[in-house]
Structure 1
């Protein structure tokens, strides 16, 4: 079943979207079930905001990897930055919440800015009971109100801010081919909804990923952090040619570009972990890969509250170091076109 069929079955019949008297992204949306009119209103709000940036000669970005913590994330500040640096939408996955409702409520308040996203698998509710977590997400998706799924940590080393704080508890392993992983891949196949995985790049982990992608060929998988290698001695087979081989074999696999700055050192290993760059610039082989398969890559920030102050810098770096060297067609696909397709089920402009 594709995404459109799933949402049609989940939604009750309703009247077509009425003409909006004000820009859609300025009007709060009513609560309620996701009937076709509500879905159309959401997509129209995103379209208007994105098109407005294009009309000004700007390159909009849809940020597909971000973690929302209600009461901690500074939404007014983020919205101001989004306007300033042409971030059309953020797919905000809520953390530290019993369900995905905070993301939906955020979208109701600011429909043009935020994409309803199911819960982030970056906190103990996922680590401690992944089977129940996926079951809850499946229930959220059945409402028809959510357009993409959050990030799931299957293999995750402590993030830089946790290393700085000497907090090494977030060294996470959830078997990708275990019951929760199987259920998640199947859920994506059944609904057509994309999900994100944090899966450290190590040779020993790659066969399991390939087996899962082969077993669930219709799953829409976003592997976060292209080329972020934290322990190089554990990674001899991963390079642009290997990524190209994955792309040609697995039609549902995508990658996001939420990567560290070129000079970043991952302290536990002492390695420069952002392998996309050579001499501070996008490496020629990686650039060729992005040009050859532009439909498989996505803009993303990896926003979370502890690094909120770096949001503009991170997204500016992505524009200048990764998108700017590419052809115009590739830039537009990666900046927003691919995200639009995964979120709405249609190509931009269709």
Structure 2
């Protein structure tokens, strides 16, 4: 079954020809390629990839990543809006509001990416308002913790037509900081906010986040290697609100096959009639307003 990866930062040094073979081997039909500005204000990396191989990449705007987003979030949000409009991107990238260092960064000794920008900050309002006015979706990285949920719900209520993809369903890096989020809470959000979506990226069931020494992938049944029944039922009940994602970045490209395998384990946990929706149909409909 083909899958669409709704969220990855592949980097500019990617060997597109070699990677095309890997995509074919793993059945990855399309990747939403998001560039990394790296202090330049904007990268155009996604446009270059699409120009080189238009059958494999969906161009996404540069994500809200350091240093540009951290240094000047309102300025970067303004540039994002301008470039999305002028260059015709079908989606924005992933904007980091609360983000802990990723496992590969901790392994490299890089602890600087412990970031917090309130989602109801001026930059957050710019993104939500632009999405509501344009119909173009954007992604958020918001760690799952009690203290940040009211801010997010406030923004979803204020901008009900904004198309928001909350990245990494059920990834909780510090479990003690969450007492609210679970399948019932996500179901409530889906039913209350019709333009809220989720990507399904997670590490494998046995992955331990080095910062907390905890298992962050809370939807896994670590005994079976599949989704817990309550999470599988939630996705099966609302399949058009969930999309596969690989969350690739230049430092972990060697993990490509393993990441695809984890998303296929998610799909295998779902009823057969909804697997194609989650694998690629939901992403296509969200981005292009077409059913395939």
Instruction: Confirm or deny a common fold (TM above 0.5).
Output: yes
Out of 21, 35, 39, the residue aligned to residue 94 of structure 1 is 35
Shift of 1:100: 4.7
Gaps of 5+ in 1: 1-58
Tell me the residue number matched to 1:246. Answer: 189
1:14-51 CA-partner distances (Å, limit 9, x unpaired): xxxxxxxxxxxxxxxxxxxxxxxxxxxxxxxxxxxxxx
- 5 Å-filtered alignment, 1:63-74, equals 63-71=5-13, 73-74=14-15
Tell me the residue number matched to 2:24. Answer: 83
CA RMSD of aligned residues (A): 1.1
Out of 275, 283, 288, the residue aligned to residue 233 of structure 2 is 288
Tell me the residue number matched to 1:230. Answer: 173
- 5 Å-filtered alignment, 1:16-165, equals 59-71=1-13, 73-95=14-36, 96=38, 97-143=40-86, 145-165=88-108
Tell me the residue number matched to 1:330. Answer: 274
Shift of 1:265: 0.8
Q: Which moved more, 1:198-207 or 1:326-335?
A: 326-335
Contact 2:202 2:262 in 1 (8 A): no
Tell me the residue number matched to 1:44. Answer: none
Shift of 1:68: 2.9
Shift of 1:102: 1.8
Gaps of 5+ in 2: none
Shift of 1:175: 1.2
Tell me the residue number matched to 2:284. Answer: 340
Q: Do structure 1's residue 214 and structure 2's residue 157 form an aligned pair?
A: yes
Structure 2 distance, partners of 1:331, 1:186, is 32
Shift of 1:144: 5.0
Contact 2:140 2:165 in 1 (8 A): yes
Larger radius of gyration: 1
Contact 1:100 1:117 in 2 (8 A): no
Contact 1:104 1:145 in 2 (8 A): no
Contact 1:160 1:266 in 2 (8 A): yes
1:263-299 CA-partner distances (Å, limit 9, x unpaired): 1111221111100112232101001101101010001
Contact 2:173 2:212 in 1 (8 A): yes
Structure 1 distance, partners of 2:52, 2:60, is 15
Contact 2:226 2:269 in 1 (8 A): no
Aligned length: 288
Q: Do structure 1's residue 303 and structure 2's residue 272 form an aligned pair?
A: no
Following superposition, which runs of at least 4 residues in structure 1 exceed 6 angstroms of deviation? Answer: none
